[in-house]
Amino acid sequence: MSGHLLEIEGLCAGYLGQDVVHNASLFVGQGEAVAVIGSNGAGKTTMFRAICGMLEATAGTVRFDGEDITNQKAHKVSRAGVVYVPAERHLFPQMSVRENLVLGAYPKRPSGSQLDMIFRLFPRLEERLSQHAGLMSGGEQQMLAVGRALMSSPRVLLLDEPTTGLSPLLANEAYDALAELRSDGLTILVAEQQVPLALGLVDRGYVLDHGRIDLTGTADELRDDPGVRRAYLGV
């Protein structure tokens, strides 16, 4: 047992019998922040969906805290502590911000201290508490999606392109919030195509290209890699 909190080995997954992710392996240690970088269509979302039980993996294993959770039902993966924030957010549009947050703690009742922690991180959410989630701006919805995920006190947070639809300013703010969570000790796996932002947050990263992980290294190594620089950093 190597003892990493989240370990993915030889993962294959896709749609309609066609694999999109091929033989992907990665790990995330306790308290680490790790990025999966890749362009649109590289397979980041497919990989994340297979990790969290939203999509069936056709091969490979997902281990969390030493336990095999491959192809467990999504609600069980979430209750075990692996909580996924999809790029499309999947909020409950006709519920208030408060109700969305309360559901994040399901099946437990939310505690006041959790809510306070989330309001410290995202003061906007406290101002908008009774607003319907569907009527909020993209930036606020992103805050709510992360806030909702945090309500269950996750042990690993999986974020799929948290900057989707956000202006550069809001994208920076989103990553400031993630940095704060990280320094509080939360384990984070983030998929991102805005590579400079992601590499500013994480310790290590994996480059996913056409469904295969073809490069891995520390944030600094990736920043200095000629391939990464050409493909993602525009240098």
Partner 1 sequence: MNLTDLTAVVLDGFVLGLQFGILGVGLTLVYGLGGIVNLAHGQMAVLAAIIIARLIDGGTQTALALLIGVTAVGILGLVLDLTLMQPVYREPGEGRVLLGLLLMLGVGFIIDGILEWRYPIEALTLRVSGSPIRILDVPMRRGSIIASAAIIGIGAALALFFRYTTFGRATRSVIQDEQGARLCGVNPALVRTVVFALSGVLAGVVAVTRAMTTPVDSTAGVSLTVFALIVAVVGGLGSVSGAFLAGILLGIVNTVSAFYIGSYVSTIILLVVAAITIVVRPSGLLGVKS
Q: Would residue 84 be called left, alpha or beta, if left means φ above 0 and alpha means ψ between -120 and 50 degrees?
A: beta
Q: Where does this chain bind partner 1 (CB under 8 A)? A: 52-54, 73-75, 78-79, 83-86, 89-95, 99, 102-104, 106-107, 109, 134, 148-149, 152
User: Minimum Å distance from CB 145 to partner 1?
Assistant: 9
At its nearest, how many Å lie between partner 1 and the CB of residue 86? 7
Output the smallest distance, CB 99 to partner 1, in A.
6
Q: Is the dihedral of CA 133, 138, 139, 143 positive or negative?
A: positive
Q: Shortest distance, CB of residue 58 to partner 1, whole angstroms? A: 17
Token pair 């095999």 is found at: 68
Which CB sits closer to partner 1, 88 or 176? 88
Query: Toward partner 1, which CB reaches closer, 78 or 142?
Result: 78
Q: Is 60 helix (H, G, I), strand (E, B) or coil?
A: strand
Nearer to partner 1, 79 or 212 (CB): 79
Q: Which is nearer to partner 1, 89 or 204 (CB)?
A: 89
SS3 of 108-169: CCCCHHHHHHHHHHCHHHHHCCCCEHHHCCHHHHHHHHHHHHHCCCCCEEEEECCCCCCCHH
